[in-house]
């Protein structure tokens, strides 16, 4: 177990870097920051020159690879780091020099168990991209296929293990202080970050995520997920189909190639809706750098390390919440929050209805193209503080991805009508999931599952309440007062003293 002094030294070292980039200044000014944390922030910046404007992305890059990924996780927690910081951290890109090729070659050969020449006809030594966890090389397999080979950086697992250990320790100390910080659940944020990195540090899990998403997206033929080469994939190496397209960051190149940008935006919106609303399994890092326009007009995605999941009931609640805010049915939205136990039961539902009205009314009557899904969710989550609502990390990840996806779509087509694009898809899904047929089917399934539990329930009752057997019933017994052990002692001593006094009295009288 790592000693607390080691954790403190690591935090102070990282704090010095963050202080030099001005990142700790907002932490010190925030009144909800615990006093101990403010003191540590002041200690970390002692003797440094603090810039006027915080440089969040540069600060996390300077701390190291684990901090880069942690910064991407914090981008989902505007309530924790502030809106400005979250906005900049959403744009955090991995800007690290590549690892030397001899180390990459050794990693590939050790992971796949063969010399690299037996696996690939060509393998470019210069990577096409170097990120915090891995780097990607272009290669050609022995059967002539163009592939991308993603390889973990050397010793990256040990570096992340040390960093996460300290993150967990620090989050536990802060959350134990209680108050507003405890409601924001920093330990849950670290737990979510740990899940992300566990998936990204095992490239087989990323390959499995890509494979699952590819199967789910078959109905959306315009959205392409690359195929996985499982024979050349292991824990530290991922080989997948090479995507020969133009990144969505290169707007001029997209126009020069004749791509229909509004159509690409519509493809992205439909693809994300199918992932998040229908399947509940979505690509949670849909920034422009991970999206490519293919020559045939399709849209392709890469980098499946960060994926999100929400169960069907949560998706139904979310759909009803969004619909209720748009239509002004604030009472139903409030009821859903209480049913989902997002709001503690001691709060007044009528007061919550009023708070929701404050979020929904400003967007009522606006043209649908002017209504932002991301901003609506942002406003919804702002009322969580007043109603002691514990943060739901899975919904925050969805919110962050919605905002990101909306930003990419509007960058492609500033005039896109998000609701008009989404409405045919959403309406059909709502009819199928919330209509009378769906409710009847859900009721039937629930009743069948209940009936299926009856045999097991009977067996349990029989186990805990067995039949009396062949022995005759016991005769009725009189009630007798039971004295505790110490009571027996007191009773015995009193009886002896009483008996002795009685004997003495008899002797005296005679």
Would you name the residues annotated as active-site residues?
285
Contact 368, 420 (CB under 8 A): yes
Indicate the DSSP class of residue 168: H
What would the two tokens of residue 343 be? 């709001």
Encoding tokens for residue 124?
């470019």
Cα 167 to chain centroid, rounded: 16
Nearest Cα to Cα of residue 324 among 371, 357, 351: 357
DSSP bridge partners of 129: 136
Asked whether 74 and 86 are in contact (CB, 8 A), the reply is: yes
Segment 26-32 long-range contacts (CB within 8 Å, at least 24 positions apart): 26/54, 26/82, 26/85, 30/82, 32/179, 32/180, 32/181
d(CA 14, CA 38): 15
Using DSSP, state whether 116 is helix, strand or coil.
Answer: helix
User: Are 190 and 164 a contacting pair, CB within 8 Å?
Assistant: yes
Cβ atoms of 267 and 223 closer than 8 Å: yes
Phi and psi (nearest 5°) for 333? Answer: -60, -45
CA angle in degrees (0–180, nearest 5) for 331-337-341:
145
Q: Using CA of residue 221, residue 401, residue 128, residue 105, what is the dihedral sign?
A: negative
What token pair was written down for 352? 């919550």
């Amino acid at each position: 177990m790592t000693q607390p002094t080691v954790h403190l030294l690591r935090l102070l070292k990282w704090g010095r870097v963050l202080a030099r980039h001005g990142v700790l200044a907002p932490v010190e000014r925030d009144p909800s920051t615990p006093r101990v944390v403010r003191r540590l922030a002041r200690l970390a910046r002692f003797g440094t020159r603090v810039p006027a404007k915080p440089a969040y992305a540069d600060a996390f890059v300077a701390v190291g690879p684990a901090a880069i990924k942690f910064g991407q996780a914090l981008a989902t927690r505007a309530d924790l780091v502030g809106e400005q910081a979250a906005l900049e951290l959403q744009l955090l890109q991995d800007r690290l020099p590549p690892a030397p090729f001899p180390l990459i070659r050794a990693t590939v050969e050790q992971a796949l168990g063969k010399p690299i020449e037996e696996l690939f006809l060509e393998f470019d030594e210069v990577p096409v991209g170097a990120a915090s966890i891995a780097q990607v090389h272009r290669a050609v397999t022995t059967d002539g296929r163009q592939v991308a080979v993603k390889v973990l950086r050397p010793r990256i697992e040990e570096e992340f293990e040390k960093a996460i250990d300290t993150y967990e320790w620090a989050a536990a100390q802060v959350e134990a202080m209680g108050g507003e910080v405890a409601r924001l659940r920093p330990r849950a944020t670290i737990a979510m970050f740990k899940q992300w990195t566990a998936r990204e540090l095992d490239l087989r899990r990323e390959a499995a995520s890509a494979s699952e998403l590819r199967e789910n997206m078959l109905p959306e033929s315009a959205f392409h997920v690359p195929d996985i080469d499982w024979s050349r994939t292991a824990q530290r190496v991922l080989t997948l189909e090479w995507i020969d397209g133009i990144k969505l960051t290169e707007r001029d190149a997209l126009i020069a190639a004749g791509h229909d940008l509004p159509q690409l935006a519509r493809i992205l919106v439909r693809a994300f809706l199918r992932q998040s609303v229908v399947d509940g399994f979505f690509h949670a890092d849909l920034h422009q750098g991970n999206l490519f326009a293919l020559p045939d007009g399709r849209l392709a995605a890469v980098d499946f390390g960060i994926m999100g999941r929400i169960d069907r009931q949560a998706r139904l609640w979310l759909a009803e919440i969004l619909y209720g805010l748009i239509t002004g049915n604030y009472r139903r939205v409030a009821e859903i929050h209480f049913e989902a136990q997002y709001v503690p039961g001691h709060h007044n539902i009528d007061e919550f209805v009023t708070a929701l009205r404050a979020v929904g009314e400003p967007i009522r009557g606006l043209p649908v193209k002017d209504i932002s899904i991301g901003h609506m969710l942002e406003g919804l989550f702002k009322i969580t503080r007043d109603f002691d609502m514990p943060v739901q990390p899975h919904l925050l990840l969805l919110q962050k991805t919605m905002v990101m996806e909306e930003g990419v779509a509007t960058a492609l087509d500033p005039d896109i009508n998000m609701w008009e694009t989404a409405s045919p898809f959403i309406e059909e899904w709502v009819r199928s999931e919330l209509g009378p047929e769906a409710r009847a089917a859900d009721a039937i399934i629930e009743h069948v599952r209940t009936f299926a539990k009856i045999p097991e329930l009977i067996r349990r009752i029989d186990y805990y309440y067995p039949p009396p057997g062949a022995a005759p019933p016991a005769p009725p017994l009189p009630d007798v007062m039971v004295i505790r052990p110490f009571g027996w002692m007191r009773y015995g001593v009193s009886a002896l003293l009483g008996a002795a006094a009685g004997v003495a009295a008899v002797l005296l009288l005679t």
